[in-house]
């Protein structure tokens, strides 16, 4: 990520191209290094499960459609990592804005890496 270090990081800097935006307008950016395995996400969202080997959460899918937005937002909001800010980021690929947890309240990506 070195070439990005000095720049503001936006959501589109992460992940591959993924499926067409029209089909899956949302994506997850998962700050896995901040996950401490509390499992709250898996309790509230089908898209999240605990990985037995690593003890951390993982999303079944990184790209998703409108129908799955609510549960992924819920997962992002309940995640207690990073002193409550959360390490699951739900991004609208059309605007490149973080919808949840959005601790800054302005849609900027709240990753700490
Ligand atoms: S709620 Fe957050 S910290 Fe807990 S397992 Fe899920 S991603 Fe990890």
> Phi then psi for 59, rounded to 5 degrees?
-80, 145
Average pLDDT of span 77-104: 97
CATH of the domain at 85: 3.30.70.20
Tell me the C-alpha distance between 90 and 26, whole Å: 7
Give me ligand 1 centre to Cα 88, in Å.
8
pLDDT at 105: 97
Residue list, ligand 1 pocket, CB within 6 Å? 35-41, 56-57, 79, 81, 87-88
Total domains in the fold of the chain: 1
Give me ligand 1 centre to Cα 111, in Å.
14
Name the DSSP class of 44: H
How confident is the model over 26-55, as pLDDT tens digits? Answer: 999 999 999 999 999 999 999 999 999 999
pTM exceeding the 0.95 threshold for the entire prediction: no
State the chain's mean pLDDT as an integer. 92
What percent of the chain is predicted at pLDDT more than 70?
A: 93
Residues of the domain holding 28:
2-11+22-100
């Amino acid at each position: 990520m070195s070439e990005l270090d000095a720049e503001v990081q936006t959501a589109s800097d992460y992940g591959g191209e993924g499926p067409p935006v029209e089909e899956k307008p949302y994506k997850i950016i998962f700050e896995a290094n901040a996950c401490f395995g509390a499992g709250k996400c898996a309790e509230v969202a089908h898209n999240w499960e605990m990985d037995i080997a690593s003890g951390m959460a993982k999303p079944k899918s990184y790209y998703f459609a409108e129908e799955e937005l609510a549960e992924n937002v819920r997962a992002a909001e309940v995640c207690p990592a990073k002193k409550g800010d959360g390490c699951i980021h739900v991004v609208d690929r059309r605007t490149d804005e973080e919808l949840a947890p959005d601790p800054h309240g302005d849609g900027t990506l709240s990753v700490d890496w």
